[in-house]
Structure 1
Amino acid sequence: MALTAEKEALIWKTLNDTRGKIEPAEYKNYIFGVMFYKFLSEKAQEWLSLVLNGDTWINIWQQNSAKAAEFMQSKLGYVIQPGDMFSDWQEAINEDKFNIMMVSDALAHFDQGVRPDAREDFSGIFADMDLTSNRLGNNTQTRTATMMDWINLMDKIELDETADVLGDLYEYLIGMFAANSGAKAGEFYTPHQVSDVMARILTTGRENMESYSLYDPTMGSGSLLLTTASYLKNAGVRGSIKYYGQEWITTTFNLARMNLMMHGVEYNDIKLHNADTLNNDWPDGVVDGVDTPRMFDAVMANPPYSQKWDNKNREDDPRFKAGVAPKSKADFAFLLHCLYHLKQDGKMAIVLPHGVLFRGAAEARIRKNLLENHNISAVIGLPEKIFTNTGIPTIIMILEKNRAADDVLFIDASKGFEKQKNNNKLRPKDIDLIVETYLKRKDVDKYAHVATLDEIKENDYNLNIPRYVDTFEPEPEIDLVEVANELKKVEQQLGDNNAKLLKMINELTAKDDGTKKDLEQFREIMRGLNEDGK
């Protein structure tokens, strides 16, 4: 269910009406929190309707709360007590009995009722919802009114596991936040059309695998993981797809957990971690001095571009055997981390700035090692302004770990897009062309070129796309003879028009000498103009 223009307008109006002192980019912490709680609550109620056999949840709870909690935990991994359901909040609002403490108590109860083996997925997931903050209002009454507005708003948005509701809402809100506050609100979200290109390339030919493992070491909101999984036959089949991801920012880590579960991914198929990927190799890696990394069928990433990092004493890190990225630009550090965790027959896709294609020094050495090891399969140039948080053009680089061929496919997709208000967007036909060109792996005039390693060596291992794909469109040649003939025609026409005008003036009859004198002066002016024209 994509958001309609009507719902978008309703959402933005509600947020503005309840703004108070809160920063626009912080809205998502509350809005997504309320939305996710509604999702968990409705999921619990749906399950209860199937298993209670005419009894009520409150009756079961009153008989034996411990056993009732264990009963729900065994299926869902969490417990929502009677009176804490989202529908209970709505009912209290309708009866004018609602207080924000109902939400605070429900969230506390939820944290306490998470099943032990599900704590990694649920624990602290609502920690960003500070319900005592003065930014929601100066007192309990105003904070209660704010929360009521948000609950009523979420009541108008239907949740559907088969549609990217959270993704649609998130993409809409970050675009609005960025436009209205200047904040880098979009830096944790990969637009769906970019995710789509990466996902289709990663999964084509492997859609029917019975089991599949995905890893995103800079997962943001988890959109890349979800989009990639959506192209697999067993998407939605419990236990078939394992989702691994790491995210440094706790708020975004919480958002990713919500996002995956709201798309129907079971909690025991999710393995997400809140840490710095470059400083904390995960999952596994070197354990007790032994290099035992976990490998994945597909690795995808959209890391922060040219970020500073601590590159000291990294020479012995097995992830960076191809070289250590400079401290001022961690782009290749992220790339090498991804490649390290890729299976021998796996495939990875990563979004990077163009600088990785041609910068020198340490990055040039890494690039050379990757090319001579046949790791780089393709370089795809994207249009500028494709991301909410940056206008710079970016690339998608496709890599493999155990590739026999040494050529590299270059695709210049920078000119295929639809221009929107603040950003550019890949259209379905643009996405199809990129993917089809990648799969066919043949030259396309002014769009794609398969370069041999010898050709790349001649360019000193520089991968800048214009060196391989010539998109220059020459200006049409000017026929000087035709231009001269046209000028003669124009001059002739001017002369004819002036002659006609002078003839008309001569035919005028003047009644006095003053008028004749004025006419004679006018004739002289016109003759002068005629001579100048020639």
Structure 2
Amino acid sequence: MALTADKKTLIWKTLNETRGKIEPAEYKNYIFGLMFYKFLSEKAQNWLIGQLRGETWANIWNQNPEKAAAFMQSKLGYVIQPGELFSDWQDAINTDQFNVSNVADALVHFNQGIQKGARATFDGIFDDMDLSSSRLGSNTQTRTKTLMDWISLIDQIELNEDSDVLGDLYEYLIGMFAANSGAKAGEFYTPHQVSDIMARILTAGREDMPEYSLYDPAMGSGSLLLTTASYMHNDGVRGAIKYYGQEVITTTYNLGRINLMMHGVEYNDIHIHNADTLSSDWPDGVQSGVDSPRMFDAVMANPPYSLNWDNTNREDDQRFKAGVAPKSKADFAFLQHGLYHLKQDGRMAIVLPHGVLFRGAAEGRIRQQLLENRNISAVIGLPEKIFTNTGIPTIIMILEKNRKTDDVMFIDASKGFEKQKNNNLLRQQDIDLIIETYLKHEDVDKYAHVATFDEIKENDFNLNIPRYVDTFEEEEPIDLHKVDESLIKIDKEINESKQTFNELYQQLVSTEE
């Protein structure tokens, strides 16, 4: 059972009231860190209930700490020592024995107790919780009070075993923090409506695949990975879906790792790295002089738009065979990176600015090469103001490696939305229409057109959507006779008003001194 909208709003309001002077962008690190620690604690407690058989975790630990730690590690990938569970923190608060060191020591011990095979998933995941920061308070006493307030607050939020409820809340809070964190929100958040379009296209006709690998080279909070996986029938089955991704911003990388696990993804199905995708290709690259890249069933991305990047000495990079993107615009670099790692029968979806459709020079040559290779299968124009970090209109481009046809489907979905206070919202009917149109692969008047390669070639490989989808609406013809009658009537009314005014003016009486 999902959380109601009223419940979510109440949780956000309550959380915000405890924030004090801490900016949302920093506040989220503490809140998400504490939420995640509670999640891991409750997972450990539930596992312990089935293992202890009347014993206490403290007794088992005291008998043989190393053996106890190894046993929990083998099942969960991490260890939480007795006295350091989230519930222990709350007990310490209730008995007036809590101090900021309770949390600090627990996080140190957690990091020390990560299983070797789980280090890539858990290592440093709480590093963004700076417990010595003056933002929490000017001294230990005030920092302790701040943590006590947050822990008590989060303890009241029912983070039960239902990962759908927990993940739903977590995703909602990510979106709310994004909306309240200004321009940099786009570093970690893609609106769910956009994720949904990409996910449904990527998985269409492939929902029954027994094994499925996902890759996001600019993964942010991981929402694209999770949304795509949610349409697979094996979602939630351990080992059936593998999650791969890279994220250059460490704080966002931690956010993504937490998000995946809070949605119930097992740590051994998560393979993500804190790295610069364009500078550091996925680790399975050139080995012993042989290029053996990892390939994925689905690639999805919402990379930073028109990013500056180091494009020097890239001519021999196997990822950029279609051409090297200009230094001031890395859009086609991200696109080609993703396409390079796509399986021959895979499918890719990427969000990009409109400029990639028509800009010339190096980008024009790359675009032509992609079209001649039959890689681009669809271009979907989205409304403006649907992202928290930019008001510009964007597109979703769908790509494949081994297409048999060379046409391209254009969908102009820029006018289908609900206007809100600061942003535009894609409604469910707007999303459904995009998916239905894409799957039918047919022309729709004023909305979609399947362009042949010859049409595109005649347009000099310019993919600007208005060249292919005519959305012009003819205005109704003007009845000049009615206009003339209306003007005569207006003139008559003006003359009558003037006459009335003059009559009133004559009746006015003035007195000289």
**Residue 229 of structure 1 pairs with residue 233 of structure 2:** no
After superposition, the C-alpha distances for 1:115-154 in whole angstroms (9 at most, x for unaligned) are 1100110111101111111111111110011111111221
**Gap runs ≥5 in structure 2:** 508-513
**What residue is the counterpart of 1:514 in the other structure?**
none
Equivalences for residues 143-222 of structure 1 within 5 A: 143-159=143-159, 160-163=162-165, 164-178=168-182, 183-222=183-222
Change (3 A) 1:453 1:2: farther
Does the residue aligned with 1:388 lie in a helix, a strand or coil? coil
The answer to whether the 8 A contact 1:384-1:393 is kept is yes
- Normalised by the length of structure 1, the TM-score is 0.90
- Cα deviation digits, residues 256-299 of structure 1 (max 9, x gap): 11111111111111101111000000041222221100100000
Q: Which moved more, 1:475-484 or 1:113-122?
A: 475-484
* CA 5–172 in structure 1, closer or farther in 2 if over 3 Å, else same: farther
1:328-367 correspondence to structure 2 within 5 Å: 328-367=328-367
Residue 291 of structure 1: aligned partner = 291
Spell out, residue by residue over 1:9-29, the C-alpha distance to the aligned partner (whole angstroms, 9 max, x if none): 553454454434x33311111
Does 1:131 find its partner at 2:135?
no
Q: TM-score of the superposition, structure 2-length normalised?
A: 0.94
Counterpart for residue 82 of structure 1: 82
Corresponding residue for residue 527 of structure 1: none
Distance 2:376 2:387 in 1: 24
Distance apart, 1:3 and its partner CA: 6.3
Shift of 1:61: 1.3
The aligned amino acid for 1:468 is Y
Displacement of 1:475: 2.1
How many Å separate the matches in 2 of 1:475 and 1:47? Answer: 68
What is the Cα-based RMSD across aligned positions, in Å? 2.2
State the match for 1:400 in structure 2.
Answer: 400
Is it true that 1:314 corresponds to 2:318 in the alignment? no
User: Following superposition of structure 1 onto structure 2, how do residues 440-451 of structure 1 map, counting pairs within 5 Å?
Assistant: 440-451=440-451
Match of 1:483 in 2: 483
User: Separation in 2 of the partners of 1:495 and 1:219?
Assistant: 70
Q: 1:298, 1:347 within 8 Å by CA — same for their partners in 2?
A: yes
**Match of residue 369 from structure 1:** 369
Contact 2:8–2:172 (CA under 8 A) maintained in structure 1: no
Structure 1 counterpart of 2:163, one-letter code: E
Q: Which amino acid aligns with 1:299?
A: V
CA contact (8 A) 1:15 1:27 kept: no
- Displacement of 1:521 after TM fit? 5.5
Greater mean alpha carbon deviation, residues 150-159 or residues 69-78: 150-159
Q: Secondary structure at the match of 1:259?
A: helix
Q: How far apart, in 2, do the equivalents of 1:277 and 1:493 lie?
A: 71
Checking the alignment, whether the CA contact within 8 Å between 1:18 and 1:149 is kept in structure 2 is: no
Cα distance in 1 for residues equivalent to 2:287 and 2:247: 21
In the TM superposition, residue 33 of structure 1 has moved relative to its aligned partner by 0.4
Give the match's secondary structure for 2:120.
Answer: helix
Native 8 Å contact 2:187 2:252 kept in 1: no
Kept after mapping to 1: 8 A contact 2:221/2:255: yes
1:11–1:153 contact (8 Å) kept in structure 2: no
**1:55, CA displacement in angstroms?**
2.1
Matched residue, 2:103: 103
Number of residue pairs aligned between Structure 1 and Structure 2: 503
SS at match of 2:347: strand
Consecutive unaligned residues in structure 1, runs of 5 or more: 503-517, 523-534
- Aligned: 1:44 with 2:48: no
Output the CA distance in 1 between the equivalents of 2:492 and 2:424. Answer: 50
Cα distance in 2, alignment partners of residues 307 and 495 from structure 1: 64
Compared CA separation, residues 7 and 205, structure 1 to 2 (3 A): closer
Secondary structure of the residue aligned to 1:26 is helix
1:34 equivalent to 2:8? Answer: no
**Counterpart-to-counterpart distance in 2, 1:231 and 1:74:** 30
Contact 1:3 1:168 (8 Å CA) reproduced: no
The corresponding residue for 1:8 is 9
Alpha-carbon distance between aligned partners in 1 of 2:449 and 2:33, rounded to the nearest angstrom: 47
State the alpha-carbon separation in 1 of the partners of residues 138 and 505 from structure 2.
88
Deviation larger for 103-112 or 484-493: 484-493
The alpha carbon displacement at 1:492 in A equals 6.9
Q: Cα 1:127–1:3, aligned 2, differ >3 Å: closer, same or farther?
A: farther
CA contact (8 A) 1:372 1:406 kept: yes
CA distance in 1, matches of 2:358, 2:270: 37
- What is the alpha-carbon distance in structure 2 between the residues aligned to residue 175 and residue 495 of structure 1? 56
**Could you say what secondary structure the match of 2:292 adopts?**
strand
Alignment CA distance shift 1:242-1:14 (3 Å): closer
Q: Which amino acid aligns with 2:215?
A: Y
How far did 1:429 drift? 0.6
Q: Which residue of 2 aligns with 1:432?
A: 432
Is the 8 Å Cα contact of residues 385 and 393 (structure 2) preserved in structure 1?
yes
Checking the alignment, whether the CA contact within 8 Å between 1:14 and 1:149 is kept in structure 2 is: no
Take 2:314 and 2:482, find their aligned partners in 1: how far apart are those partners? 68
Bigger mean CA offset, 201-210 vs 281-290: 281-290
Q: Does structure 2 retain, via aligned residues, the 8 Å contact 1:3–1:165?
A: no
Contact 2:18–2:150 (CA under 8 A) maintained in structure 1? no
Cα distance in 1 for residues equivalent to 2:498 and 2:424: 53
Partner of 2:20: 19
Q: Is the 8 A contact 2:285 2:292 kept in 1?
A: yes
1:378 touches 1:408 (CA, 8 Å); kept in 2? yes
SS in 1 for 2:339: helix
Q: Give the residue type in structure 2 aligned to 1:68.
A: A
The equivalent residue for 1:508 is: none
Q: Deviations over 1:325-369 (max 9, x none)?
A: 001100000000000000000000000000000000000000000
Cα distance in 2 for partners of 1:280, 1:361 equals 26
* Bigger shift: residues 155-164 or 54-63: 155-164
Question: What is the rounded CA distance, in whole Å, between the counterparts of 1:157 and 1:412 in structure 2?
Answer: 42
1:444 to partner: Cα distance: 0.7
Instruction: Return the letter of the residue paired with 1:175.
Output: A
**In 2: Cα distance, 1:369 partner to 1:437 partner:** 26
Letter aligned with residue 393 of structure 1 = P
C-alpha distance in 1 between matches for 2:120 and 2:505: 100
Change in Cα spacing, 1:493 to 1:220, as seen in structure 2 (3 Å) is: closer
Please give the alpha-carbon distance, in whole angstroms, between the structure 1 residues aligned to 2:440 and 2:174: 35
Look up the equivalent residue of 1:335 and give its one-letter code.
L
